[in-house]
Structure formats: C-alpha cells, structure tokens
Amino acid sequence: MVEMLVQVNGLIERGVAIKTLDERLGTASMPEELVKLVVGVMGYAAEMELKGIKKRTAEGREVAKNRGVKFGRKKNYTPQQAAAVLEMRQRGDGYRTIASAMGMTASMVRRILQQQEVA
C-alpha cells in the first residue's frame, strides 16, 4: 500500500487528477489532503479485500486437496511411453533422438525423465 501512496502522491504533485472508473470520485476539485485521505482509505480497503481473496482461495484449495482433487498439468503420455523413453535413455540415446522416435518434444522427454527419477 505504501508503494501505491507514493505513486499517487507523485501524480498529485505533477497536477494529475484521479478519476474512478465509475466516475463517482474525481479529485480535480478536491483539496490535496482530502485526496490523499480518500486514496489511502481506498488502498487499505483494496489491500484487505486482496488478503480476504487469498485466504478464501487457500481454504478452497485445502478443501479440494482433502477431497482428493489433483492439481497441476495432466500427463500427455502413457506409462508405456514413459518406460520406453527411460529405456531409450539408458541405452544412451539423446533427447532429440528419443523425441523424434516417440513423436514428442525434447522438453517432454526431459520432463518424463525428471519425473521418473523422482518416482
């Protein structure tokens, strides 16, 4: 919020008037002190709303995890393809060679190998 206040003060010092999108608030005819007060209150309200959104999102994510919802990207390959990639790599084939033989990208080959190492 401090950064926002610094930016707004900089705009006010340069003579820029602030107007809300719904046009309920325009600072062109307001005293500078009142503008700073209003912007500070609005910034605080926005910050509290953001904290609330983050909290609700984290709670929702936790509930979903407890229900068994899987997060992340879905796998675009089968376990048989992963085994074939691993076997080809153990034979000494390069990433691009494996990728062209399997019909996938070299980055997918790397991802498969990284996941196989972890598992």
What does each of the 119 residues of the chain score in pLDDT, given as a tens digit? 788 888 888 888 888 887 888 878 787 888 888 888 888 898 899 999 999 999 999 999 999 999 999 898 888 889 999 999 999 999 999 999 999 999 999 999 999 999 887 54
Predicted structure pTM score: 0.55
Contacts 24+ apart (CB under 8 A), 65-68: none
Q: Can you tell me the distance from the alpha carbon of 111 to that of 53, in angstroms, rounded to the nearest whole number?
A: 33
In angstroms, the CA 6 to CA 42 distance is 14
* The pair of three-digit structure tokens given for residue 22, joined into one six-digit string: 């719904």
C-alpha torsion angle, residues 99, 105, 109, 112 (rounded to 10) = -140
Instruction: Indicate the SS3 state at residue 26.
Output: strand
